[in-house]
Amino acid sequence: MTTQKPQYPLGKIEPNSAKYFASCTFGGIIACGPTHTAVTPLDLVKCRRQVDPKIYTSNLSAWRSIISKEGLRGVFFGWTPTFVGYSFQGAGKYGFYEYFKYLYGDQLFPNANRTVVFLGASASAEFFADIALCPMEAIKVRMQTTLPPFAHTLREGWGKIVAQEGLSGLYKGLYPLWARQIPYTMTKFATFEETVKYIYKTLGKPKESYNGLQQTGVSFLGGYIAGIFCAIVSHPADVMVSKLNADRKAGEGAMTAVSRIYRNIGFSGLWNGLPVRIVMLGTLTGFQWLIYDSFKVFLGLPTTGGH
C-alpha cells in the first residue's frame, strides 16, 4: 500500500530557493495590502488628528462627522494609495526579510546571535520596501490631511504633486519614513520571532507537534504583541511624517521643517493619536502574520519563527 504524497499548489518548494523567496514576496503582498486598506478609517482619523489635534474631539465623533458629510465612503478616503503602497511595501518587507535572514544568518554570519540577524535582516528589508512605499504614502497623507482634499484619487494626487514639485515631491518624506518604518519593522520582526519562540517554550512542546491551524494561531498572538511594541517605538516618527507631508513649505529643507514643526507641537505633540495607533497596529500586525503564515502553510512551508 502506497502513501499518497501531499499536493501543493506550486509543487514542492525548497526553503531558501528562488521559488521560496518569490512565494514569500507574494505572501507579503496579500498580508499587507488588504490589511492596511481595511484599517483606512482608523488611519484617516489618526492622520488628521496628528496634523490638527483640535479637528475632532474623539475618534467616534470623527467618524460620525465624516459619515454625516460624506457617507460611509468618506471614512475609507485614501484607500487606493494605501492599497497600492502597502502591497508594494509588503512585497519588499517580507520577501527581502526572508532573503536577508538567510543571507546574514546562514551565509555571512552563521554563528551570529539570532536576534541580531532578525534585526539586521528586517532593517535591510524595510530600507528597500520604503522606497516603493514612499510615493503612495505621500499621496495618501496629502489626500487624507487636507480639507478640502488635495486630491480625490491616486491618479489626481500623483499628477498634482509631480506638476507642482517634480518627482522629488513624491520622495520628500523618505527620510522620515525610514525613521518611522525601519525601527518599526525591526521591532515587528524581532519581537515576533522572539515572542513566538517564547510561546512555544511556554506551551512545552516543539513547534512541529502542532498542526497548521494551531501554529497560525500562535502567529496571530505573536503578531499582535509585536504590533503593540511597534506602535510605541515608531509613533513619534509617524506623527512627523504626517506633519511633513501636510505642512512642509516649498523649498524648505527636511531638517529645517522638522525643527519648525517640533517647535510648534512640542514633545507631547509627537504622541498625538497613540492609543488608536496601538489598536490599529496590534490588530494589523496580528492579522498580517496570520495571513502570511497561513499562506505559507497553504504552500506546504513552515510558519515563521519558533526555532
- The CATH number of the domain holding residue 75 is 1.50.40.10
Look at residue 95 and tell me if it is in a domain. Answer: yes
Interval 78-109: pLDDT, tens? 999 999 999 999 999 999 999 999 999 999 99
Buried b (16+ CB within 10 A) or exposed e, 234-258: bbbbbbbbbbbbbbbeeeeeeeebb
Mean pLDDT of the chain: 89
Question: Is there a single domain that holds both residue 18 and residue 112?
Answer: yes
Residue 262, pLDDT above cutoff 60: yes
Q: Which of 10-14, 104-108, 245-249 has the lowest mean pLDDT?
A: 245-249
Domain of residue 18 covers 13-171
Question: Is there a single domain that holds both residue 252 and residue 274?
Answer: yes
Residue 142, pLDDT above cutoff 50: yes
If pLDDT is split at 50, 70 and 90, which confidence band does 257 have? confident
Question: Is there a single domain that holds both residue 91 and residue 231?
Answer: no
Q: Which residues contact 216 (CB under 8 A, 6 or more apart)?
A: 290, 293, 294, 297, 303
Question: Is there a single domain that holds both residue 243 and residue 97?
Answer: no
If pLDDT is split at 50, 70 and 90, which confidence band does 2 have? very low
Look at residue 2 and tell me if it is in a domain. Answer: no
Q: Which residues contact 60 (CB under 8 A, 6 or more apart)?
A: none
User: Residue 294's closest CA among 240, 239, 220?
Assistant: 220
Question: Is there a single domain that holds both residue 255 and residue 297?
Answer: yes
Look at residue 239 and tell me if it is in a domain. Answer: yes
Give just the sign of the alpha carbon dihedral 150, 155, 156, 157.
positive
For residue 77, the tally of other CB atoms under 10 A from its CB is 18
Question: Is there a single domain that holds both residue 112 and residue 208?
Answer: no
Query: What span, in angstroms and rounded, lies between the C-alpha atoms of 36 and 42?
Result: 10
Question: Is there a single domain that holds both residue 302 and residue 222?
Answer: yes
> Structure pTM?
0.82
Between 55 and 164, where is the model more confident?
Answer: 164
Rounded average pLDDT over 8-26: 86
Interval 169-217: pLDDT, tens? 999 889 888 988 898 899 899 999 999 999 999 998 989 899 999 999 9
Between 260 and 3, where is the model more confident?
Answer: 260
Give the total number of structural domains in the chain. Answer: 2
DSSP state of 249: P
Question: Looking at this protein, which amino acid is placed at residue 32?
Answer: C
Query: What span, in angstroms and rounded, lies between the C-alpha atoms of 118 and 121?
Result: 5
For residue 293, the tally of other CB atoms under 10 A from its CB is 27
Rounded average pLDDT over 292-301: 94
Look at residue 176 and tell me if it is in a domain. Answer: no
pLDDT at 9: 60
Question: Is there a single domain that holds both residue 98 and residue 142?
Answer: yes
If pLDDT is split at 50, 70 and 90, which confidence band does 7 have? low
End position of a domain, from candidates 147, 171, 195: 171
Query: What span, in angstroms and rounded, lies between the C-alpha atoms of 179 and 245?
Result: 14
